[in-house]
């Protein structure tokens, strides 16, 4: 059963990928949805065994690399962290599969889409269940690949192509960090599997470097500040992809890496502080940018970025389990928000601009309720699942004495999160209609294939926080931060203030209320793309063109290599052939000189 | 000794005639004859000094070879003159590399 959970998505991917033309669109949708849902049910059984009964399972599958100093095997490790990730990956993936059969119904390439989705699920499961870093890297690269394929699903669109390449390349920067970290771990400790490595740790300076490199890996994959620019661009892919990959699962791989490497981070306070700082800055940055975005998917993308910042920040407070907890609840409400946004987009005939929505509460009441649940949960409204995890993280950061700024950034972020979530709700559902006539006429709820997953996710985002709060912290109890009452009330106050502020600022919200330059600065995401393109991209490009291409490749190497040698030989042979003048007396002279030289040597010898 | 010097001088005259001559092919042929003559003198001198007949035998052979060579050379020259209308040596470089 443990292997089945992983293999079923692979079989589903192979089945609908290779057999797509025989199954047809409906067949491929049905097959992959049913299989991934079966895998998800199995993972719930596993969670019962692992989380409730507290049994950790190791499975050795075989040797992979056997060299003198490096022994790596294929193996699976199902422990508490894996169990939580299993729920996230298989549940969200199964629901997204079902959702896609409705959302992508008109698409002629549905079997390919289903195959990619299942393949992604497979690689993500490899990532979370592996028992060593090298096998984790297979899954890590695999989800990057699937991200490329899925963003580029509509490969005729140039924007999708560009976004896919960007996602791949920026992820690759993080991959280099992870690769170097694995090499350094192997060099320093001689083992890459968790159960050999973690007991053998000792405080050393290498630990700091390993952790910093792991953090770079997480920054790339989890879209933290600096390498985040691919995440908003990845919204060029279909909406179910955004829900599955860029909200719930793939981007949490970076956080998972940090959670998995928590014993390493325990030995490196420096890296832990860096993690906390990066996370809190990302959370704050993305929240400010989310305030002014006009694309409905980009608002949610930036909120994902912000929540990932929360998770990473929680890892920076030596409390990785609370990060895992937030990961779990976040997966539910963020998938709900994305799929709800997909429902809106679908109902409005592929209109993504918030400024062209408004008033669709009459046509889409159920979607409205579901989006409201998702937004309240995201905003950390009491008793919804977001509240439990977010509140915990905020209180934990208050206890983190070395960097109190993290607490303030996180609190401001909580406020901003509530604000932009309800700005989205207000602009799309409540405000005056701004639709086209055709859009308004076709406004109706989609079928139950599309709404069913949303309902399940809504129930999840109401209940998961409460149900899972003792399961995630399985061996011990939920940490109880010692904070003053005002601090423990602060997140609720912040989120309620944020929600209320939307209704106070209602008339001004669609137009920018602040100074235009600040608005532009926020709208273009703190100009990160421009800065990266201008200062890093173009500098590297110029260096590459002038130095390595024109000077070295086409210059020095060309002269020392093919062209230079060929030219030299041709010139010399021309000079040699000039010796053959055709004049008889010259030949006679040469014969005589040659004879004289030969005679000289003959006489000398 | 003087025969030796004589033959070497004739040889040098022949060689320099071949090398330095730019105008006439007949002079070149005559210089080849001079070279062969020098070698004949050298062989005869050697035969006289060493009291052997081999030198004289070779000298006779060289005489016949020289006669045949000049006959063939003149024949080539005549044919060449028919074709080109000149026998200047510096005009002979049609087959340059």
DSSP code at position A66: E
Q: At what angle do helices A110-129 and A80-103 cross, to 10 degrees?
A: 170
* Confidence band of A401 (pLDDT split at 50, 70, 90): low
Identify the band that residue A511 occupies on the pLDDT scale cut at 50, 70 and 90. low
pLDDT at residue A180, rounded to an integer: 95
- Average of pLDDT values for A153-172? 92
* pLDDT per position as a tens digit, A241-255: 999 988 888 889 999
**Within A71-109, where are the H helices?**
80-103
Q: What is the pLDDT of residue A119?
A: 94
Summarize the confidence of residues A265-293 as an average pLDDT: 91
Taking contacts as CB-CB distances below 8 angstroms, the residues of chain A near B21 are 585
CB distance A500 to A390 below 8 Å = no
Which of the four pLDDT bands, split at 50, 70 and 90, describes residue A396?
confident
Nearest to B95 among A578, A582, A592 (CB): A582
Residues 6+ apart with CB under 8 A from A329: A377, A385, A386, A388, A389, A461, A464, A465, A468
Q: Which residues contact A217 (CB under 8 A, 6 or more apart)?
A: A140, A174, A175, A177, A178, A181, A254, A257
CA distance A398 to A378: 20
pLDDT at A523: 83
Percent of chain A whose pLDDT exceeds 70:
97
The minimal CB distance from A585 to the residues B89, B96, B97 is found for B89
Q: Which chain A positions have a beta carbon within 8 Å of B93's beta carbon?
A: 581-583
Across the interface, do A582 and B22 touch by the CB < 8 Å criterion?
no
Which of B20, B21, B97 lies at the smallest CB-CB distance from A577? B97
Please, are residues A245 and A223 in contact by the beta-carbon 8 Å criterion? Answer: no
pLDDT at A403 over 80: no
Q: Flag if A579 and B94 touch (Cβ within 8 Å).
A: no
DSSP state for residue A295 in the 8-state scheme: B
CB contact under 8 A, A588 and B18: yes
Sequence length of chain B is 97
Number of neighbouring beta carbons within 10 Å of residue A183 = 14
pLDDT value for A474:
61
Give the model confidence (pLDDT) of A97-139 as tens digits. 999 999 988 888 999 999 999 999 999 999 999 999 999 999 9
Contacts of A580 in chain B (CB under 8 A): 96-97
pTM: 0.83
Query: Which DSSP symbol is given to A180?
Result: H
Please list the pLDDT of chain B residue by residue as tens digits (97 residues). Answer: 888 999 999 999 998 888 888 888 889 899 999 999 999 999 999 998 999 999 999 999 999 999 999 999 999 999 989 988 888 887 777 777 6
State whether A580 and B19 contact (CB < 8 Å).
no
Using an 8 Å CB-CB cutoff, list chain B residues near A582. Answer: 92-97
- Facing residue for B96 by CB, picked from A580, A589, A592: A580
Is residue A360 within 8 Å of A343, Cβ to Cβ? no
Per-residue confidence band for A318, with pLDDT thresholds at 50, 70 and 90: confident
Give the DSSP H/E element, type plus range, for residue A72: strand A71-78
How far away is chain B from the Cα of A594, in angstroms, using its nearest Cα? 14
Interval A359-372 mean pLDDT? 90
Residue of B12, B17, B18, B90 for testing the chain A interface, max A β-carbons within 10 Å: B18
Kindly determine whether residue B18 and residue A578, on different chains, have CB atoms separated by under 8 Å.
Answer: no
Helix, coil or strand: residue A191: coil
Residue A226 above 80 pLDDT? yes
Question: How many other C-beta atoms are found inside a 10 Å radius of the C-beta of residue A604?
Answer: 6
- Residues 29 to 88 of B: which have CB under 8 A from any A CB? none
Mean pLDDT of A393-422: 85
Torsion of CA A227, A229, A235, A237, to 10 degrees: -60
List residues bridging with A60 in a β-sheet: A75
Considering only CB atoms, B93 lies closest to which of A582, A588, A589, namely A582
Quote ipTM for the complex.
0.78
* A 561-600 → B contacts, CB under 8 A: 577-585, 588-589, 592
Residues 6+ apart with CB under 8 A from A116: A13, A17, A146, A149, A150, A153
Q: Are A378 and A283 in contact (CB under 8 A)?
A: no
Residue A373, exposed/middle/buried by CB under 10 A (0-12, 13-18, 19+)? Answer: buried
* Cα dist from B11 to B5, B14, B66, whole Å: 10, 5, 15
Cβ pair B97:A579 closer than 8 A: yes
Reading the block at residue A174, the tokens are: 């993080």
pLDDT of the residue at A166? 92
Residues 6+ apart with CB under 8 A from A293: A299, A302, A354, A523
Q: How far is CA A356 from the centre of its chain?
A: 29
Cα distances from A586 to residues A116, A267, A457, in angstroms, run 79, 87, 99
What are the tokens at A151?
């963003």
Residue from A578, A583, A586 to probe the interface with B (highest B Cβ count within 10 Å): A583
The chain A residue lying nearest B92, using CA atoms, is A583
Sign of CA dihedral A218, A220, A222, A223: positive
Residue-level pLDDT at A24: 87
Distance in angstroms (rounded) separating the CA atoms of residues B67 and B74: 11
Q: Which of A577, A579, A585 sits opposite B22 (nearest CB)?
A: A585
Would you say residue A513 has pLDDT above 60?
no
Confidence at residue A510, expressed as pLDDT on a 0 to 100 scale = 63
Give the Cβ contact number of residue A467 at 10 Å: 14
- What pLDDT is attached to residue A554? 87
């Amino acid at each position: 059963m443990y292997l089945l959970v992983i293999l079923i998505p692979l079989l589903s991917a192979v089945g609908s990928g290779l057999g797509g033309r025989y199954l047809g669109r409906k067949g491929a949708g049905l097959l992959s949805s049913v299989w991934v849902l079966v895998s998800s049910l199995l993972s719930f059984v596993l969670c019962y065994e692992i989380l409730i009964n507290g049994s950790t399972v190791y499975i050795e599958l075989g040797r992979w690399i056997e060299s003198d100093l490096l022994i790596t095997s294929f193996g699976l490790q199902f422990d508490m962290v894996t169990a939580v990730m299993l729920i996230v990956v298989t549940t969200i993936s199964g629901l997204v599969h079902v959702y896609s059969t409705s959302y992508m119904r008109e698409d002629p390439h549905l079997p390919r889409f289903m195959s990619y989705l299942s393949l992604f699920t497979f690689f993500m499961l490899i990532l979370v269940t592996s028992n060593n870093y090298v096998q984790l890297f297979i899954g890590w690269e695999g989800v990057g690949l699937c991200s490329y394929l899925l963003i580029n699903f509509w490969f005729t669109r140039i924007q999708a192509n560009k976004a896919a390449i960007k996602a791949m390349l920026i992820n690759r920067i993080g991959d280099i960090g992870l690769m170097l970290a694995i090499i350094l771990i192997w060099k320093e400790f001689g083992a890459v599997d968790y159960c050999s490595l973690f007991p053998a740790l000792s405080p050393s300076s290498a630990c700091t470097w390993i952790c910093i490199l792991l953090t770079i890996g997480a920054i790339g994959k989890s879209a933290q500040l600096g390498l985040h620019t691919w995440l908003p661009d990845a919204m060029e892919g279909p909406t179910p992809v955004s829900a599955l990959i860029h909200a719930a699962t793939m981007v949490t791989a970076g956080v998972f890496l940090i959670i998995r490497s928590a014993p390493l981070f325990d030995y490196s306070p420096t890296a832990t502080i860096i993690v906390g700082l990066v996370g809190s800055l990302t959370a704050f940055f993305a929240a400010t940018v989310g305030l002014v975005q006009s694309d409905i998917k980009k608002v949610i993308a930036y909120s994902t970025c912000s929540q990932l910042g929360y998770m990473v920040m929680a890892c920076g407070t030596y409390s990785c389990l609370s990060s895992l907890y937030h990961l779990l609840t976040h997966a539910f409400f963020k998938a709900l928000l994305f799929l709800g946004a997909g429902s809106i987009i679908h109902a409005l005939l592929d209109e993504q601009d918030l400024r062209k929505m408004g008033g669709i509460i009459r046509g889409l009441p159920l979607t409205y309720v579901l989006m409201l649940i998702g937004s309240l949960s995201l905003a950390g409204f009491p008793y919804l699942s977001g509240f439990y995890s977010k509140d915990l993280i905020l209180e934990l950061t208050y206890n983190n004495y070395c960097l109190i700024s993290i607490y303030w950034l996180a609190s401001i972020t909580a406020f901003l999160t509530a604000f932009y979530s309800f700005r989205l709700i207000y602009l799309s559902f409540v405000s005056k209609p701004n639709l086209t006539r055709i859009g308004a006429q076709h406004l109706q709820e989609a079928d139950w294939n599309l709404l069913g997953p949303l309902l399940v996710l809504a129930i999840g985002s109401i209940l998961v926080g409460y149900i899972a709060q003792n399961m995630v912290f399985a061996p011990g109890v939920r940490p109880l931060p010692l904070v003053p009452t005002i601090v423990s009330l602060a997140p609720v106050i912040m989120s309620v203030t944020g929600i209320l502020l939307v209704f106070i600022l209602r008339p001004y919200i669609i137009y920018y209320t602040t100074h235009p330059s600040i608005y532009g600065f926020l709208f273009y995401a703190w100009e990160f793309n421009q800065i990266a393109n201008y200062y890093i991209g173009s500098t590297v490009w110029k260096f590459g063109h002038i130095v390595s291409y024109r000077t070295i490749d086409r210059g020095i190497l060309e002269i020392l290599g093919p062209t230079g040698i060929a030219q030299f030989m041709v010139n010399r042979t021309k000079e040699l052939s000039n010796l053959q003048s055709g004049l008889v007396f010259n030949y006679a002279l040469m014969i005589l000189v040659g004879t004289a030289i030969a005679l000289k040597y003959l006489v000398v010898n | 000794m003087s025969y030796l010097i004589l033959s070497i001088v004739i040889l040098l005259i022949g060689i320099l005639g071949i090398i330095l001559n730019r105008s006439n092919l007949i002079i070149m042929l005559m210089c080849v004859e001079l070279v062969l003559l020098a070698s004949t003198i050298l062989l005869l001198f050697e035969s006289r000094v060493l009291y052997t007949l081999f030198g004289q035998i070779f000298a006779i052979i060289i005489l016949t070879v020289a006669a045949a060579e000049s006959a063939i050379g003149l024949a080539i020259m005549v044919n060449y003159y028919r074709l080109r209308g000149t026998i200047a040596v510096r005009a002979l470089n049609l087959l340059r590399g």
